A and B are shown apart, each in its own frame.
Chain A
């Protein structure tokens, strides 16, 4: 239920991922550049806000630690944005420390469009709406800015172990 509209179709020829620091500096990667970065293969459990979990899923992607290396920032918040217009907010710390990836492969196959391909954010320690499908970039922010579902009443942080589904949980 976490896809709110039609599935966007994104060509790898025009795909890009952009990290924009709070001072306006942008760091860009094309598909080829992303694939040339060191790759990791996290095996993780994922938890959806609609009461299902999937254990031991295998992904391949680039760690946000790798992508944020060399980005000069003092920001505490991040707003991920996607092809198709979706947004979701996270504390920047939650994208660091080997806990977040830009993932392009699931179970050994290219990530299908309906599951967020060509690439999605993968932040398995938070509810899965934080793992933005069709991710296009991350804006670093000094102030927290709620994303699409957070504006519609979902929890700002979304810790599945504390069942933070909706605001006030």
Chain B
């Protein structure tokens, strides 16, 4: 495969994954790269797993990521991190939100949510950034900015200049939410660097 950078985002419908993917792809575009993204729309958004893939580089052909090629896996929900683990490169960074969304299959008794998931994450990801992004977002001003907190942590695993990230946030989110999202991004970056 060529030298494109691939990022795999995963979570549950309604968590703001598509906005995060848009900010990331705008940041890469502003940094002067060719960019391709892919998202699954439609039926999957009704409470199911939602994934987004972003690739950038001098020239990008495929919008889809190969398994084992993602430089960062950013999971908005713990179980979804495990489900998508095989997309991450062996040396890649896993950013995982310490956050649980119980699927209906668990509530109705047909399956169980793994109890030892933290252990699984530690075992599986040598480079793991695992923290409560929702709490950091609340500190920044709103729980709804957890997606941008996670993006801040993701940015640590990528090589885009910080300025392009901030510009991408200003360009992508609604004007009245710019400040809170810039704070959220900084909080996520700090969490990953600590």
A binds B: no
A interface residues, Cβ below 8 angstroms from B: none
B interface residues, Cβ below 8 angstroms from A: none
